[in-house]
Amino acid sequence: EADIYQTPRYLVIGTGKKITLECSQTMGHDKMYWYQQDPGMELHLIHYSYGVNSTEKGDLSSESTVSRIRTEHFPLTLESARPSHTSQYLCASSEVKASGRLGTGELFFGEGSRLTVL
Amino acid sequence: KNQVEQSPQSLIILEGKNCTLQCNYTVSPFSNLRWYKQDTGRGPVSLTIMTFSENTKSNGRYTATLDADTKQSSLHITASQLSDSASYICVVSDRGSTLGRLYFGRGTQLTVWP
């Protein structure tokens, strides 16, 4: 069982509201990710982080922002939610193996946050 | 364009039967291939990870095979159980820096009936 937690699991809010999806991991992993997943579709990377104070945008353009002030915490924020933001958001982390070697880089996923914007 | 294609899109089998799910990819240069199981409303959970040199790997009733020459992988489930009902996602990593970029398939939705 992976030690990575997401809250809330489900959120229904109105258009224009600010929301923050929380993600925490207790495995000490440096790399963390946010994926967006719609029904029947593949996961799309929207943000990732190599470590504290490092954040990068992923392959899928997103109006959300992220921060990485602590190793274990990687929250995602939407300043003004819209119906088009309705989706499942999955947080993940991975371990980076010894330097100079490609590791397995296994991803550990949280349970997801299902966001519905009315 | 690097892609991961999975088939079938959905599959229904009876409890106790075996099944095989397919994954074809065009990702290059190849680093590793993973299979994940995703229960409805939950996050994906890793089943197997295979590198270029591995052509088969088992995890209980799950056996994954890899043919790096033809760029095909399969996931075989033996003696299916109701709890096997889930989406099975194939993910291919290219040989990037530390982790490499991940390419996700859309998954095969497996339903096991009693």
Q: What is the pLDDT along chain A (118 residues), one digit of tens a residue?
A: 569 999 999 999 999 999 999 999 999 888 899 999 998 899 999 999 988 999 999 888 888 999 999 999 999 999 999 999 999 999 999 876 544 334 457 889 999 999 999 9
CA distances for A65 relative to A1, A3, A10, A43, A95, angstroms: 28, 23, 19, 18, 23
Spatial separation of the C-alpha atoms in residues B24 and B69, rounded to whole Å: 11
Contact A111/B99, CB-based, under 8 Å? Answer: no
What confidence score (pLDDT) does residue B107 get? Answer: 96
Q: Among B43, B49, B107, whose Cβ lies nearest the Cβ of A90?
A: B43
Q: What percent of chain B has pLDDT above 90? A: 78
Q: Is A103 an interface residue toward B (CB < 8 Å)?
A: yes
Average pLDDT score, chain B: 92
Tokens linked to B18:
């075996």
pLDDT tens per residue, range B13-64: 999 999 999 999 998 888 889 999 999 989 999 999 998 888 999 999 999 9
Report pLDDT for A23: 98
- Per the prediction, chain A carries an average pLDDT of 89
Q: Which of B64, B76, B89 is nearest to B19 (CA)?
A: B76
CB–CB contact B106 A40 (8 Å): yes
Considering only CB atoms, which chain B residues are within 8 Å of A40? 106-107, 109
pLDDT at B100: 65
What's the rounded Cα separation, in Å, for the pair B14 and B62? 17
Q: How many CB pairs under 8 A join A and B?
A: 56
Instruction: Identify the band that residue B76 occupies on the pLDDT scale cut at 50, 70 and 90.
Output: very high
